[in-house]
């Protein structure tokens, strides 16, 4: 295992002794994390920045491409017709290429549009890649990857099964690697022909990174980072805790760094073994960049830009005003450029310039590994995000790669490399990733080859502008065993038996020692390793160390996948659906390395066509009610979920509507409704068009009715399935009679007339019944019944008069009024009065 990982890390090297490290100063190291400047772009900066050959910084902000001087001052702006989330690519002539959500690809130089925008069939999130011939490659939401010739003419379009938001990466031989929302990672040649397609479990938004050995690293929304061999076969996968939208970067030692929606940055070895994770406070969608010291820089949705040490420890966090989804760009001068959705682009002091590594990728956009005709790397530090490969004159080109050698112990060996480009040139040879002292020429000579000299050699060549890395040249010192049969990765089910086998050629006896992960399997010393009664704990990486008296070799890693029954991590839940509605059942299973098939059942009977982790029922009917389960099946067997009950409901039916009523002021009155329903009912009473507060029962009670309570009432009855409104009931409120002004006492003259009058209130009509001395009811023919007229008075009419006032709400008796009618004088009494007798003597 250690040998293999060591070989895979050959792309990384310790470049601290190289002359171009003068760019790093002690003062700069102490000031890292401090702000150099910030630029207000006036629009959200989700695009990632790019730097041109003259130091101009380009970044998308809203629908504008902004060009800045290195001091952060605005140089010019260009407006597209839609937002620019694509990150720009710039060539050595200062021509900038980028896509926009207006479906177009633009070419701009110094703020001037060079050719009419190239129109695709959908919005463009992908960032462009430009090859050494000037061809522009870019994806679109119309499911296509486009190849556009200089001048804006289409060369070809490659159709996938989903959005192409991944940005293409150019690898050896001009092969294009990119992802699609159809869950695939594609390899397409320069003519637009598919070479292979690798299937992941979900959308691929991430852009691929390419290692020097041809391994392609890419993330998927299925939560995994994949390592794919150059032939399209799976090398390994590493699971994070959530979706991956970030793109990977490769550090100097071969470590792969990638962000995830599990709020973490993950560091993974070239063998797919986790090294560490760094937790942030929110999603990590920004792609990382690595400096010379191995420091990793990236953005987070918690509004921060982080610097993390190679050991996974936080060095500093720079706080912005909003999400950081832009991916940082690291200049050779050690300045980190990164945008934020707070409308600003920030320049921050970093520890050093960018690392010399095989692939310093950025979010969504590729760095181009330019290749010459014999597939040698033209540039080990590709252009920044979306930037083009070299076109025209190339500064450094390896014209002759060091070749692999096979020598016997004690013999001489010589490795050489030839480079064309501007001098002076500096050379450094490395053996298995470690600098060889004094090996600073284009030729490396070994006069007396020993076992310690065996390994992989690379040459690092640089001038004042750039650095290139040779292909690995293996030196084999024949004496140790040579593996002729490598153990092969296998997949099998729990409880089964498997065997790994390895064979080696050797001039003497060999020993075998098997390893699981990094632990020795004591006692397993045969060329065959047999594992019986497989359990999940057996899953992992197996290798064998084969040795003889001259040394030892380690086999390739064979991965064992142990498949158990599908594990249901989220059971389907009970549902309530109204007739005519749509309901959906869903379940989730744990990530599986083998396909899982699904079958939904209703009351134990298979549902035709219900063969996914979700099952949707449209236009629900009563016949759909029942117990739903789903059977998950893989090569190990079947797991059946718990049952989920679907209850089908209908809107309520009112069986008794509220009825119109007549009530009396200050008396209680109630209205009621009765309804049928399959589930709980809710009620809301209305007066006129206004909902009544706290009137939410099937009965509306009014404790003391008043006249303003009179009017129309109705109730709305509802359940989960619907709503129904009752008939309107009219409520009338009667007011009982009340005496306002009672009849008054009077004295009437004999033979004359008097009138008793009463005034009263109450609901009409009012009936007036006059009484004399409480018992005698008096006939009253007066046209105004509230008046009682007594004519031709006689003393016998003297007494107490009352009136009983009645209406439909009740009756009331007035206070009594006294009538006095004096007796008339006799003839004698009148004569005495007339003659003045008056009783005087």
**% of the chain beyond a pLDDT of 90:** 71
For 734-743, the pLDDT digits (tens) are 999 999 999 9
E strands along 292-334, which residues?
Answer: 296-300, 304-308, 314-319, 329-330
- C-beta atoms surrounding 746 within 10 Å: 16
Question: For residue 163, what are its two tokens?
Answer: 């959005």
Give the strand pairing for 597-602 and 626-634: antiparallel
pLDDT higher than 80, residue 833: no
DSSP codes of every residue in 428-466 = EEEETTEEPTT--SSEEEESS--GGG-EEEEEEEE-SS-
Which tens digits make up the pLDDT trace of 712-749?
999 999 987 889 999 999 999 999 999 999 999 999 99
Average pLDDT value for residue range 472-483: 85
Separation between Cα atoms, residue 444 and residue 415, nearest integer Å: 5
**Contact by Cβ (8 Å): 175, 187:** yes
* pLDDT tens, residue by residue, 159-173: 999 999 999 999 888
pLDDT band per the 50, 70, 90 thresholds, residue 387: very low
Q: What is the pLDDT of residue 375?
A: 30
- What backbone torsions phi and psi does residue 174 show, to the nearest 5 degrees? 80, 10
Report the 10 Å Cβ neighbour count for 627. Answer: 14
Cβ–Cβ under 8 Å, residues 70 and 347: no
What's the CA gap between 321 and 694, in Å, rounded?
46
Calpha distance 685→725 (Å, rounded): 10
Mean pLDDT, residues 558-587:
93
pLDDT digits (tens, 9 = 90+) for 347-376: 999 988 787 665 653 323 333 333 322 332
Which helix (DSSP H) or strand (DSSP E) does residue 6 occupy? helix 2-8
Q: pTM value?
A: 0.48
Mean pLDDT of 598-614: 95
**Beta carbons within 8 Å of 657's beta carbon, 6+ residues apart:** 673, 726, 727, 729
Distances (CA, A) of 831 to 38, 750, 751: 131, 18, 20
CA 417/CA 12 separation, integer angstroms: 18
Q: State what percent of residues in the chain have pLDDT above 70.
A: 90
Q: How many CA atoms lie within 13 A of 734 on its CB side?
A: 16
pLDDT per residue as tens digits for the range 241-265 = 999 999 999 988 889 999 999 999 9
Strand 335-339, strand 344-349: pairing: antiparallel
Count of C-beta atoms within a 10 Å radius of residue 696: 13
- Work out the number of other CB atoms within 10 angstroms of the CB of residue 443: 14
pLDDT of residue 408: 76
pLDDT: is 830 or 572 the higher one?
572
pLDDT of residue 837: 55
CA-CA distance, 704 to 838, in Å (whole number)?
A: 67
Q: Do the Cβ atoms of 331 and 337 come closer than 8 Å?
A: yes
> Measuring CA to CA, how many Å separate 793 from each of 350, 770, 771, 774, 816?
123, 17, 16, 19, 19
Examine residue 424 and say whether the peptide bond preceding it is cis (omega within 30 degrees of 0). Answer: yes
Task: Give residue 253's pLDDT.
Answer: 84
**Phi, psi dihedral angles at 29 (to 5 degrees):** -65, -35
pLDDT on residue 666:
92
Say what the pLDDT of residue 376 is: 29
């Amino acid at each position: 295992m250690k040998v293999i990982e060591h070989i895979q890390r050959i792309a990384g090297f310790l470049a601290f002794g190289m002359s171009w490290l003068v760019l790093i100063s002690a003062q700069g190291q102490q000031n890292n994390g401090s702000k150099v400047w910030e630029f207000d772009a006036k629009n959200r900066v989700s695009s990632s920045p790019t730097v041109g050959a003259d130091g101009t910084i380009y970044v998308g902000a809203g629908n504008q491409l902004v060009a800045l001087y290195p001091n952060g001052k605005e140089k010019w702006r260009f407006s597209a017709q839609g937002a620019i989330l694509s990150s720009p690519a710039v060539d050595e002539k200062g021509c900038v290429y980028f896509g926009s959500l207006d479906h177009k690809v633009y070419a701009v130089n110094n703020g001037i549009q060079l050719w009419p925008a190239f129109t695709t069939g959908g919005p463009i999130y992908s960032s462009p890649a430009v090859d050494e011939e000037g061809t522009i490659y870019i994806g679109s939401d119309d499911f296509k990857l486009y190849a556009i010739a200089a001048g804006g003419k289409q060369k070809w379009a490659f159709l996938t099964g989903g959005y192409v938001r991944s940005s293409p990466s150019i690898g050896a031989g001009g092969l294009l690697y990119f992802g699609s929302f159809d869950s695939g990672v594609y390899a397409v040649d320069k003519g637009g022909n598919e070479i292979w397609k690798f299937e992941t479990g979900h959308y691929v938004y991430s852009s691929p990174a390419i290692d020097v050995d041809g391994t392609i690293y890419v993330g998927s929304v299925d939560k995994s980072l994949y390592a794919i061999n150059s032939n399209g076969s799976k090398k390994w996968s590493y699971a994070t805790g959530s979706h991956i939208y970030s793109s990977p970067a490769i550090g100097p030692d071969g470590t792969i760094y990638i962000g995830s929606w599990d709020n973490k940055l993950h560091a993974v070895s070239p063998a797919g073994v986790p090294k560490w994770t760094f937790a942030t406070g929110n999603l990590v969608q920004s792609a990382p960049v690595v400096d010379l010291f191995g420091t990793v820089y990236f953005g987070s949705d918690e509004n921060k830009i982080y610097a993390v040490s190679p050991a996974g420890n936080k060095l500093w966090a720079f706080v912005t005003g909003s999400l950081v989804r832009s991916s940082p760009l690291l200049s050779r001068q050690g300045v980190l450029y990164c945008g934020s959705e707070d409308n600003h682009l920030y320049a921050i002091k970093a520890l050093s310039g960018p690392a010399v590594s095989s692939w310093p990728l950025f979010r969504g956009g590729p760095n181009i590994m330019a290749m010459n005709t014999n597939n040698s790397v033209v540039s080990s530090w590709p252009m920044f995000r979306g930037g083009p490969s070299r076109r025209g004159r190339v500064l450094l080109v390896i014209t002759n790669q060091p070749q692999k050698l096979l020598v016997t112990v004690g013999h001489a060996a010589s490795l050489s490399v030839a480079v064309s480009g501007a001098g002076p040139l500096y050379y450094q040879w490395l053996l298995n990733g470690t600098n060889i002292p004094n090996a600073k020429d284009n030729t490396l000579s070994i006069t007396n080859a020993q076992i310690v000299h065996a390994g992989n050699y690379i040459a690092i060549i640089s001038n004042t502008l750039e650095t290139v890395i040779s292909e690995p040249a293996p030196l084999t010192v024949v004496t140790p065993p040579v593996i002729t049969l490598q153990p092969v990765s296998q997949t099998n089910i729990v409880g089964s038996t498997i065997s790994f086998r390895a064979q080696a050629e050797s001039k003497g006896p060999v020993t075998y020692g098997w390893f699981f992960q990094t632990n020795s399997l004591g006692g397993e010393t045969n060329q065959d390793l047999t594992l019986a009664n497989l359990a999940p704990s057996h899953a992992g990486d197996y290798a064998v160390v084969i040795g003889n008296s001259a040394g030892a070799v380690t086999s390739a890693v064979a991965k064992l996948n142990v498949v158990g029954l599908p594990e249901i991590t989220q059971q389907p839940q009970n549902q309530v659906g109204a007739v005519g509605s749509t309901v959906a059942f869903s379940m989730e299973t744990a990530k599986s390395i083998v396909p899982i098939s699904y079958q939904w059942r209703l009351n134990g009977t298979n549902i035709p066509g219900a063969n996914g982790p979700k099952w949707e029922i449209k236009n629900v009917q009563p016949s759909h009610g029942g117990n739903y389960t789903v059977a998950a099946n893989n090569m190990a067997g079947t797991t059946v979920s718990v049952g989920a009950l679907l209850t089908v409901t209908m809107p309520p039916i009112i069986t008794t509507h509220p009825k119109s009523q007549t009530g009396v002021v200050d008396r209680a009155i109630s209205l009621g409704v009765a309804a049928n329903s399959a589930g709980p009912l809710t009620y809301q009473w209305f007066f006129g068009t206004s909902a009544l507060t706290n009137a939410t029962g099937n009965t509306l009670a009014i404790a003391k009715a008043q006249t303003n309570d009179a009017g129309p009432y109705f109730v709305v009855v509802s359940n989960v399935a619907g709503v129904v409104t009752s008939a309107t009931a009219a409520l009338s409120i009667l007011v009982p009679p009340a005496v306002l002004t009672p009849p008054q006492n009077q004295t009437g003259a004999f033979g004359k007339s008097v009138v008793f009058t009463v005034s009263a209130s109450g609901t009409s009509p009012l009936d007036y019944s006059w009484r004399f001395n409480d018992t005698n009811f008096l006939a009253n023919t007066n046209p105004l019944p509230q008046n009682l007229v007594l004519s031709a008075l006689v003393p016998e009419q003297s007494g107490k008069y009352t009136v009983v006032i009645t209406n439909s709400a009740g009756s009331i008796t007035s206070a009594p009024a006294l009538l006095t009618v004096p007796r008339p004088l006799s003839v004698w009494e009148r004569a005495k009065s007339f003659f003045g007798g008056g009783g005087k003597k």
